[in-house]
Copies of this chain bind each other. A is one copy, B any other.
Amino acid sequence: MGQEFLKLFEERSFPVKSLKLLASERSVGKTLIFKGQPVTIELATEESVKGIDIVFFSAGATRSRALIPAAIESGAIAIDNSSAFRMEEGVPLVVPEVNPEKLKSDSRLFPVANCTAIILTVAVAPLKKLGKIDRLIVSTYQSASGGGASMMQLLEDETKAVVAGEVPPPSKLNTRYAFNLFSHNTPINEFGYNEEEAKVIEESRKILGMPDLKINVTCVRVPILRAHTETVTVEFDGPAPSEEAVREALASAAGVRVIDDRTANRFPTPLDASGQGDVLVGRIRQDVSNPNAISMLITGDQLLKGAALNAVQIAEEVLKLNPSTVA
């Protein structure tokens, strides 16, 4: 994830005057390359996060809770990839293509939403102008990258073993991952929904500004490395807009690219999305089971639009809106 940030800073000419890399003890002393120069990783502490203009946090909710207050107190703007503060009242949850107005906030804390929710809301938001959306029905095909570098490595290691005719050793998962899929392995709440599904529901509502939006979602991890795919049915409060209207609204939306060639049978795949900033949308069609609904297939790079890119976009917009907040 750190690598993805550095690559984005370079590619997007993010105005970096000086750069500090902070991590846990495990990584202290290692170096990453930024603009051709090695930068040594230092220990992340309440002291070392002070005196920085913009701090990007991407080390889980526990570390964000421990370090972000100190960073903000010292004057920083904190952009947080963890779930720690996303649902806090008054804290804006921004996907720049969807709710940029929330950037005009005096908050110095901008959480980055759950990756599945970001990809979903980027594809759904452009349809809001076509009618009142009543309900979303979503099934996900989530990649290993959502579980971090260790899960990507696990998938690769197990797959190597299986194609070599070997039985991979047991892992931290309760099932094999190679050539297999499993219901998202986060705790299940009293309603039978896992934590990932609960995040998709509450965070999508907050991002879309639709607190009463009904959402049915099933989150599944598939043996794919780095982009998330979702099947999405959008039910409107009345007859659904035409396929043409949906396609046009999506094609002209920021952050969306339509790949929807029925003749060539060419629709978005996670491999198409990998390394891309846009959310790809296809299989756009009227729901034959409900005249009020349309269905589509969407996919987006979990590490980019689902995380690092969204974080950097927020920072860029914050800088544009408040050039003075940052020295």
Using a CB–CB cutoff of 8 Å, the interface residues on chain A facing chain B are: 135-137, 139, 141, 156, 159-160, 163, 174-176, 179-183, 185-188, 191-194, 201, 214-216, 218, 220, 222-225, 229, 231, 233, 243, 262-267, 269-272, 282-290, 293, 295, 297
A289 to B180, CA, bound (A): 28
A276 to B290, CA, bound (A): 35
A69 to B317, CA, bound (A): 70
- Please state if A269 and B175 are interface contacts (CB–CB under 8 Å): yes
In the complex, the chain B residue whose C-beta lies closest to that of A229 is B181
Cβ-neighbour of A216 out of B135, B282, B288 (below 8 A):
B288
A186 to B262, CA, bound (A): 10
Which residues from B are CB-within-8-Å of A137? 137, 216, 233, 289
Q: What 10 A-B pairs are tightest by C-beta distance, nearest first?
A: A192-B285, A139-B139, A214-B289, A188-B262, A216-B289, A139-B231, A180-B271, A183-B267, A218-B231, A160-B163
- Please state if A283 and B159 are interface contacts (CB–CB under 8 Å): no
Sample of 16 A–B contacts (CB below 8 Å): A135-B289, A139-B218, A156-B163, A159-B159, A174-B266, A175-B266, A176-B271, A179-B271, A181-B229, A186-B265, A188-B262, A188-B265, A194-B265, A215-B289, A220-B229, A222-B223
A243 to B229, CA, bound (A): 28
**With contacts A176-B271, A269-B180 known, is A220 near B231, CB below 8 A?**
yes
- Please state if A223 and B224 are interface contacts (CB–CB under 8 Å): yes
Which interface residue of A192, A193, A220, A271 has the most chain B CB atoms within 10 A? A192
A137 to B215, CA, bound (A): 13
Cβ-neighbour of A163 out of B136, B163, B231 (below 8 A):
B163
Cβ-neighbour of A201 out of B225, B270, B271, B288 (below 8 A):
B288
A295 to B215, CA, bound (A): 12
Which residues from B are CB-within-8-Å of A267? 182-183
Which residues from B are CB-within-8-Å of A185? 265
- Please state if B135 and A290 are interface contacts (CB–CB under 8 Å): yes
- Please state if A181 and B283 are interface contacts (CB–CB under 8 Å): no
Cβ-neighbour of A192 out of B201, B231, B243 (below 8 A):
B243
- Please state if B159 and A163 are interface contacts (CB–CB under 8 Å): yes
A98 to B267, CA, bound (A): 35
- Please state if A181 and B224 are interface contacts (CB–CB under 8 Å): yes
